Structure 1
Amino acid sequence: MKKTFQLRPEGKHPDRVLEAIKHEIRKYVQRERRRVPPKGSDYWEFDCRFGATEEVAESVHLGALAKLMDGVAAAEGTKFYVEILAKPAQFKPRPEGMVGERRAPHPEDDGFDD
């Protein structure tokens, strides 16, 4: 998904538009996660970029997107660019001695509050 979202379309409330954008992004991520990963992969990982325009977009974590979108809306921004690309990934084995300690994040955790 590579898309520039408008936050202030004519005749629509900006808060409802922001919620609709978040919903569209959640649907996209869920749809991509349902796809079967290629052989040799365990799950889908997401490369994300966020910015005012495509040219100035910076790499961010998927879980940070919601807060960044809220920040643009709070600053009365009119639009922002979001790029989310799925890529296959494998779980990495834990090093010796790490049993019971902090685990890797769950692949379903996208940072959006439901």
Structure 2
Amino acid sequence: MSEARDVETAWRWLLERRPHTRGAHEDALVPIAEAAYRHPMLARLYPFPTRGTLRFLRTPSPWHDADDLPIVGYAGPPYTVYAGSYASIVGTASNADEAVTLIVAHLPDDVVS
């Protein structure tokens, strides 16, 4: 499975559903990925679909911060948003845009600024 080396490429491959990349065959990922990309704060982060979730990373590989930022399960709706490392459920959303709002509301201050 190929991984993009930068944020812009990762988003492009994810949204284009580039073959042999993470999430390319996951129809349920499309609405949440599109909604997340429309939000400027999330579009700056590296999208990392894995195990039925979309994670947001501060940087491309190596992923030392994989459990730092909110995680969203994309099998919805409803969508479940978790705090980093699944510490808790921060909420559920009835659509992808509401899920993005929850994600952004729970980003650490150093990501928001």
Q: Which has the higher strand share?
A: 1
User: What interval of TM-score do these two structures reach, taking the shorter chain for normalisation?
Assistant: under 0.3
Q: Which has the higher contact order (CA 8 A, sep 6+)?
A: 1
Q: Which has the higher helix share?
A: 2
Greater Rg over alpha carbons, structure: 1
Q: TM-score, normalised by structure 1?
A: 0.26
Q: TM-score, normalised by structure 2?
A: 0.26
